[in-house]
Amino acid sequence: MPWLLDIMRSQANTVTEQLTRAGQAIEHDSFAIIDAEVGPHAYTSEQWPVVRRMIHANADFDFNGLTAFHPQAVAAGIAAIRRGGTPVVADVEMICSGLSKPRLAHFGMPAHHFIGDADVIAQAQAENTTRAVQAMRKAWRQGLLQGAVVAIGNAPTALLEVVRLIREEGLRPALVVGMPVGFVSAAESKAAMAELAEVPWIVIRGRKGGSTLVVAALHALLSLAEAQRA
């Protein structure tokens, strides 16, 4: 069983691996296929595992090229994870549901979302804004965004609000994974995030994106963080 030997030789991770040998084989065979078929790319050895896992999540090779990184993004993400206790603040419940609870727990990382909270909905109705905007404002008021991993896969308005908080309020998250999908302000919100030098980010340029891709990117970073454990 060559695949088993390959896994045993090359994989030191335990928490961020699939729980069965069969599952590990499928995942690593998929990664090998992606590596063989992707063609040339300009990503660093630290960035490529993130992009590869995103391609694995939806079998779309367009993310080779559409995915963009702040120069410090991967290092900042790994450092935030390895610190322990760093919160993940998401725009929607889907991200929190998709993230592996054992993997987060290994690093003591809580995951938060406020999109469905009654006060968020009421405030959005009162101010004629979106729930996503008010959810980010609530996280900011509660002190959760500073130093956090901010994960946005659905709502462009959430990402635009994070950009505003960075520019106007001095917010400094550890990392912003900004991948909202759609036709209204999705591309623009990610372009605005990518203009910022003071905060590390990972974005998907253009209209494509989604919560599944945010989860994939975060799982890749969790795996890289475990591989660097002392």
Would you name the residues annotated as active-site residues? 56
69 contacts 220 by C-beta, under 8 angstroms? no
Look-up: residue for tokens 């069969």?
A: 22
Residues contacting 47, CB < 8 A, separation 6+: 67, 69, 73, 74
How far apart are the two ends of the chain, measured CA to CA in Å?
30
Find how far residue 52's CA is from the centre of its chain.
13
One-character DSSP codes across 176-214 = EEE---SSSSHHHHHHHHHT-SSS-EEEE-SS---HHHH
56 touches 34 (CB < 8 A): yes
Which 8-state DSSP code applies to residue 47? Answer: T
List 150's β-bridge partners, or say none.
89, 176
Give the sheet arrangement for strand 201-204, strand by strand: 67-69, 201-204, 175-178, 149-152, 88-90, 111-112
Supply the DSSP symbol for 86.
Answer: P
